Structures are given as C-alpha cells and as structure tokens.
C-alpha cells in the first residue's frame, strides 16, 4: 500500500518528517511512552499508526483504532508488530469490551467529534478502574480558528469540566511552540535524535499561549508524571524567508502591472468610443 492521503489533519511521517507538525505529534507520543510501559493500551484515532508503533515499544500491547479503514490498513501494513494491532472503529463506539485496557491515549481526537461527552463515556467504559486517560487537544485561545475538521475547540476549564465527572483526578500539562536557537557542533546539528543541551526560556508564555492541553486523567490520584521534553521541528531560515518574501513581492508587482495594463486598455477603449462618430442609421432597401 502506498502513502495515505495527506488531508492536512493526519500526520504521516513519510510526508511530514522535518516539519513542525511532525515535531508536535511525535513529542506527544514520546512523552506518553514511559506512562504505558508494560501496560495494555488503546490508541484511539491512531491515524497512520506511527504513534501506536512508538507506544508498542514499551507497552505490553497496543490497539490502534481509527474510523478510517484506509488508515487502519495502512497502519497495519506499515507499523504492525507482534504486540500491536489496528482496528476500524468509532471513538464513540470503541470496538473493545469493558475494562479492556490500562491506558487510553487520545491525541487530537476530541475536537473532531460531535458528541465528545459520549467519547469520554466510552473511554470510561473500556478503561480498567485504576487506569489512566492521556488526553491532548488544541487550546482554543491559541489554535487557529475555522478548521473545517474541528467541530469544537476547548478552553482549559471547559475541558477539565468535561472529563472530571468520570475522572475526578486531572493533572494538567501543556504543549507550547517556540522558535528555537541551538549552538552545538555539526555532529549534533546534522543527526536526528536526542542530545544533551542546556535550556533557557527567554520568552515565557501566558497560559492562553499554550497551543495544546495534555491532561493525565484518572479515577484515583494521578501518580504518573510527564518529564519536560523539547523537540526541534522545522528549520527556521531567514534566507528562505527573504527569498519567499521577494518571490511574493515580485508576483504581486507583476499582478499589479497586469491589472494596470488592463485598466489602461479599458480606458483607451472608452476614449475611442467617446470620440467615435455615431453609427449611421440603416436604410431599408427599396423593392423593385
């Protein structure tokens, strides 16, 4: 099977590697990997399957469920292993029995649903009593508006209020996006993977600037913790920005020139029509 379609919402590593979208998505799963070690896991809305595969490297077993049969088939073929599987199913009717898993991971799912309360109820049903629900979704105060794939975007208190009737304990974490500057040898900069570095936050953010919520939810006190994790995403190039700006400026100038030429042609035609003699009336031909 070839690559699945890039619809702007589903992250496919073969398509998005090296982009900020890639960094945002992979970071969420890397942060969750220690939480699922040795546990049975549901990755709901598993998409292309890369996250299910990543979690399965530490989990006892991971089931990825996605509403798209195409995505599930692609994931099974691309990322299927002995301790994961992919199924077709709806987030509001999860194809698992009661108390089936120890951890439910839901990244960028709930904002796509019409009945998000039914989704939380389904998570409650398939999760064991002392299980953990890891939930991530965009923060409406910072996320772009008008996304045609999103039925609803949440603010923090609204999201917590939605899950707490079923999961009384909620530990909030957040995912924020900055531009980053790194000083290191070339051997660090040209290799993908982790590296040790000091970190300075020179631009503190207010809560409304956090792009994603990342909640650990449970029916019992949450003892699990998430370690801070920084991922470098898309390359920020001033040279490329300059070239793109110049190209856009050139295109705009060309469009303005074409528009001006068109206006001049219209005005020339109007002047010709204004000074042209009136047409002679037609005379009927006499019958012989």
Residue 8's pLDDT is 58
Considering only residues 89 and 19, tell me which one the structure prediction assigns the higher pLDDT.
89
Helices and strands (H and E) in the chain: how many: 8, 7
Burial of 129 (0-12, 13-18, 19+ CB in 10 A): exposed
Give the separation between CA 27 and CA 41, rounded to whole angstroms. Answer: 18
Q: Are 55 and 43 in contact (CB under 8 A)?
A: yes
Q: Assign 3-state DSSP to the chain and report helix, strand, coil percentages, each to 5.
A: 35, 20, 45
Q: Which residue has the tokens 């073929």?
A: 77
H/E segment holding residue 204: none
Residue 285's pLDDT is 60
- Cβ neighbours of residue 72 under 8 Å, at least 6 residues apart? 46, 49, 64, 65, 66, 86, 87, 88
Considering only residues 55 and 10, tell me which one the structure prediction assigns the higher pLDDT.
55
- Model confidence pLDDT, tens digit, residues 210-250: 999 999 999 999 999 999 999 888 887 878 888 988 999 99
Point out which residues pair with 64 in neighbouring strands: 43, 86
State the pLDDT confidence band at 102, using cuts at 50, 70 and 90.
very high
Give the separation between CA 117 and CA 92, rounded to whole angstroms. Answer: 9
Looking at the whole model, is its pTM more than 0.75? Answer: yes
- Cβ neighbours of residue 178 under 8 Å, at least 6 residues apart? 203, 205
Considering only residues 40 and 274, tell me which one the structure prediction assigns the higher pLDDT.
40
State the pLDDT confidence band at 78, using cuts at 50, 70 and 90.
very high
């Amino acid at each position: 099977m070839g690559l699945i379609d890039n619809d702007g919402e589903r992250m496919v590593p073969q398509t998005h590697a090296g982009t900020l979208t890639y960094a945002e998505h992979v970071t969420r799963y890397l942060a969750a990997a220690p939480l699922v070690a040795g546990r049975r896991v549901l990755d709901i809305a598993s998409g292309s399957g890369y996250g299910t595969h990543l979690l399965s490297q530490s989990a006892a077993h991971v089931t990825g469920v996605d509403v798209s049969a195409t995505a599930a088939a692609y994931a099974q073929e691309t990322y299927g292993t002995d301790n994961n599987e992919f199924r077709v199913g709806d987030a509001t009717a999860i194809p698992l029995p009661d108390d089936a898993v120890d951890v439910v991971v839901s990244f960028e799912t709930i904002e796509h649903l019409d009945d998000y309360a039914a989704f939380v109820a389904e998570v409650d049903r398939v999760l064991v009593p002392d299980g953990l629900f890891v939930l991530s979704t965009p923060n409406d105060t910072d996320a772009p508006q008008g996304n045609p794939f999103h039925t609803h975007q949440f603010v923090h208190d609204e999201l917590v209020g939605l899950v707490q009737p079923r999961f009384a304990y909620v530990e909030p974490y957040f995912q924020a996006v900055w531009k980053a500057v790194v000083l290191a040898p070339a051997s660090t900069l040209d290799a993908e993977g982790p590296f040790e570095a000091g970190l300075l936050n020179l631009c503190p953010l207010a809560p409304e600037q956090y792009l994603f919520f990342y909640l650990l939810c449970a029916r019992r006190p949450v003892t699990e913790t998430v370690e801070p994790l920084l991922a470098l995403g898309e390359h920020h190039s001033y040279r490329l920005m300059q070239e793109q700006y110049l190209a856009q400026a050139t295109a705009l100038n060309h469009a303005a020139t074409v528009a001006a030429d068109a206006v001049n042609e219209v005005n020339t035609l109007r002047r010709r029509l204004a000074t042209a003699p009136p047409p002679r009336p037609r005379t009927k031909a006499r019958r012989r």
